[in-house]
Structure formats: C-alpha cells, structure tokens
Amino acid sequence: MSVVEARHVTKRYGEVRALDDVSLVFPEGNFFALLGPSGSGKTTLLRAVAGFVEPEAGEILLDGQDIAHTPVHRRNIGMVFQNYALFPHMSVFDNIAFGLSVRGVSRAEARERVHRMLDLVRLPGMEERKPRQLSGGQQQRVALARAMVTEPKVLLLDEPLGALDKRLRQEMQIELKQIQRAVGITAIFVTHDQEEALTLSDHIAIINDGRLVQVGAPHDIYENPGSVFAAGFLGDANILRGRVENGAVAVDGVGPVTPRSALPGQGSPAVVAVRPEKVRILAEPSGQACNRVAGRVIQGVFSGTSVTYIVETAAGVQRAFRQNAGERIHGAGEGVVLEWSPEHTVVVEE
C-alpha cells in the first residue's frame, strides 16, 4: 500500500493550462476519484501520476519519493485504460503475464499468479482466448487483472467503465470496488460521471479548468458543496443569489433565505444552494418556520419512482424532487409553494 501525492503540479499545452498548481494527497488504500468535465485536466493529472505527462513544475511523490521525471516503466504502477488497450495479438494469459515476463518472473510462477488474478476477476479458464473473443465486460476484467498482477504500488484507472453499457457498468462498479478493497491497493480513477464517483470512491477531487475545486468524502462534498460549480457538477442544485441582510440572504422577489452556515458581511452578495430532494413541494404554505418560495409548475417529470418538478419562481427556475409515495401529481400551471429548511441551505462561492 502506498501514498501518492501531487505537489504544485503544473502542466501547460501551449497557452492552455491543463494543470495549474494542483496539490493533492491520495491516501493509502483509498479509492480516489478525479471528477470533472472533459478538458478539465483530470486525465492530465492521472497521466502525470502514470508518467505519460511530464509536469513543468511540481513534484509527484510515491511513498515520499519524487517520481515526476521517472520513466513510466520504472514507476511500478498499474493502469487500466479507457478502451482497455489489451494487446490484440496476445492471448488473455499472455496479456496478463506481460508485466511479469518483462520483470523476469519465471513461467511457472507467472502461471500461478495469472490463475490467481483470473479467479479474482472471476474469469477462470479464459487463458487461451484472444481479446477480440471477449465481451466488453470481460475485456475490462482482463485489463484489471493485467494491471494488478504485478502488485503495483498504485492502480490508475482512466474512465474504466466508460465503454460499457449502463447495466453492466453498475455491476462492474460494485465489483471493482470489492476487488480494490480485497487487494487493499491505492487506486486513482478518472471519471466524468458523478454517479460513478459517488458510488465507487472513498474520496473525490473535483477538478475544473486545471484547478482543484474541492476535495472530500463523497457524502461530505455532496452535502457541503463549496461552490456553485461543485454543487452543480456533483448532483443537482437550486441556486439562489442575493445580498446579505440581517443574517439572511435577501433574494429579489423571494425575501430572506436563511442559510445553515455563516455569511459574509452585511450588504455583500451571497449565493446559496439547495438540493432538489431537500425541497418540499406543497399546494399551500405549511406555516412552519423555513425558507419558502412560491411558484408555478412548468412541468412534472415523472420517472416511475419519483417526480421532479420544474417550477418557475421569482428567483428563476427551481427544481423539487419527490419520491412517488402515491400523492397527487401537480399539473403544469398549478401554483405551488417550495419549502426547505435552513439546515439544507448551503452558502457557496460563485
């Protein structure tokens, strides 16, 4: 088990800063997600850890040693590529054994270790197949086995499930996590899929425009987003903008909205975010003390287990999520009231 750390890593492509002074610790045995939109720099960071990208400035530490300028093949990493990059001319066995064979491991030992890996990824007896004879999910497992058989210090995964269809993807998510737990390897994976990041990881780093936006445990980031971007990228969020007045945020046409946490000084602009599932949608105001905004239903999007209401309010279009517990569905054009507690109202940065 190993610790990976990036310190002030910067990488430019021409004028574009792909990574701008990023510092991040990937703890031992942790499943760490790098989440961000495409072009955010998350892949560049992963490839810098792998060694395919050489940072202009900064250090990459593996167990305390700077490896920023060490060639890839001397880093002892394992990597799973987006399209698996299985060697098409080799059998499954030879693919998995490749890393062992370049390390000079004996054929007998390699056989033993490959078998163990194939059992771990639940593909026993597939040794002699060629990659093109495997399904997408099977290829993914082989790629994982190949990356882990050399017992690398860190496992890097570049959108590992991106090429699978949705159902298979959910299955593999669970399995991937189980395998990582069982082996106890430090894993870093890149994804643009927020759900995947939430399901799989122990920690998430949100990256945008080459900068670190927020780092934390999935639940923590979800409940306490630090910025409008984090709130919107990881989950859905209603955003309300106003000015600080008497310990609350005065939103035009809505009135005071009370947040959970401390606010900047009187009169300065402030933004708050609230998750749609924390918002109750009612026909009449409840009379309880809470944040409240009136509006008119534009549409109720029914998806079986739930309804997501899109509501026009004085503070713009907002959303409310409601489990389908059998209540009447509000029709388009109906006047409604949205209510939520100050506890779920998070102050965020613009």
Partner 1 sequence: MRAETRRRWAIAGLTGPAYLWLTLTIFLPLSAMLWFSFQKKGPFGRHEAEFTLKHYEAFFTKAYMQDLTWRSLEMGLQVTVICLVLGFPAAYVLAKRIRGRWREALFLLVVLPFWSNALVRIFSWTVVLRPGGVLDGAVQFVFPGAPAIDLADSWNAVIIGLVHSYLPYMILTCYLSLQALDDSLIEAARSLGASAATILWRIVLPLAIPGIAAGAVLIFVPVIGSFFEPKLLGGTQGVVIGTVIEEQFTVVSNWPLGGALSFILLAIVLLILAVSYPFLKDRMRTA
Partner 2 sequence: MAQPWEGEGMSRHLLPRIADGMGRIFLALILVFLYVPIAVLALMGFNESVHYALPFEFSTKWYEALAGNERLLTASFNSVWIALANTVVATTIGTMAAFALGRFRFRGRTVMQLLLFPPITIPWLIIGTAMLVFFFWTGIGRGLHSLLLGHIALSLPYVIIVVGARMASFGPELEEAAASLGATPLQAFWRISLPVLMPGIIAAALFAFAVSFDQFVISYFLAAPGTSVLPVEIFSAIRKGFTPEVNAISTLVIFVSMGIMLAFARLSKFGGER
Out of 57, 66, 69, 267, point to the residue binding partner 1 (CB under 8 A).
69
Out of 102, 283, 301, 317, point to the residue binding partner 2 (CB under 8 A).
102
69 binds, among partner 1, partner 2, none (CB under 5 to 8 A by kind): partner 1
d(C-alpha 275, C-alpha 310), whole Å: 13
Which is nearer to partner 2, 81 or 321 (by Cβ)?
A: 81
N- to C-terminal Cα distance for the chain?
Answer: 38
Does position 66 interact with partner 1 (CB under 8 A)? The reply is no
Which is nearer to partner 1, 55 or 152 (by Cβ)?
A: 55
Which is nearer to partner 1, 52 or 87 (by Cβ)?
A: 52
Does position 16 interact with partner 2 (CB under 8 A)? The reply is no
For residue 21, count other CB atoms closer than 10 A to its CB.
14
What letter represents residue 242's amino acid? G
d(C-alpha 139, C-alpha 121), whole Å: 11
Does position 50 interact with partner 2 (CB under 8 A)? The reply is yes
Q: Identify whether the C-beta of residue 142 lies closer than 8 Å to the C-beta of residue 165.
A: no
**Half-sphere exposure at residue 42, Cβ-oriented, CA atoms within 13 angstroms:** 27
Out of 11, 146, 275, 330, point to the residue binding partner 2 (CB under 8 A).
146
199 binds, among partner 2, partner 1, none (CB under 5 to 8 A by kind): none
Beta partners for residue 154, in sequence order:
77, 186
Does position 85 interact with partner 2 (CB under 8 A)? The reply is yes
SS3 of residue 297 by DSSP: strand
166 binds, among partner 2, partner 1, none (CB under 5 to 8 A by kind): none
Tokens at 91, concatenated: 């059998």
Which is nearer to partner 2, 101 or 286 (by Cβ)?
A: 101
d(C-alpha 298, C-alpha 56), whole Å: 50
Does position 265 interact with partner 1 (CB under 8 A)? The reply is no
Q: Identify whether the C-beta of residue 148 lies closer than 8 Å to the C-beta of residue 121.
A: no
54 binds, among partner 1, partner 2, none (CB under 5 to 8 A by kind): partner 1
Count of helices and strands (H, E) across the chain: 8, 20
13 binds, among partner 1, partner 2, none (CB under 5 to 8 A by kind): none
78 binds, among partner 1, partner 2, none (CB under 5 to 8 A by kind): partner 2
Closest CA relative to residue 200, chosen from 63, 35, 48: 35
Out of 1, 8, 13, 54, point to the residue binding partner 1 (CB under 8 A).
54
Nearest approach in angstroms of CB 69 to partner 1 is 6
Q: Identify whether the C-beta of residue 54 lies closer than 8 Å to the C-beta of residue 13.
A: no
Q: Identify whether the C-beta of residue 2 lies closer than 8 Å to the C-beta of residue 28.
A: yes
Can you give the binding site for partner 1, defined by CB under 8 A?
Answer: 54, 69, 71
Interface residues with partner 2 (CB under 8 A)? 50-52, 71-74, 76-79, 81-83, 85-89, 98-99, 102-103, 132, 146-147, 150, 156
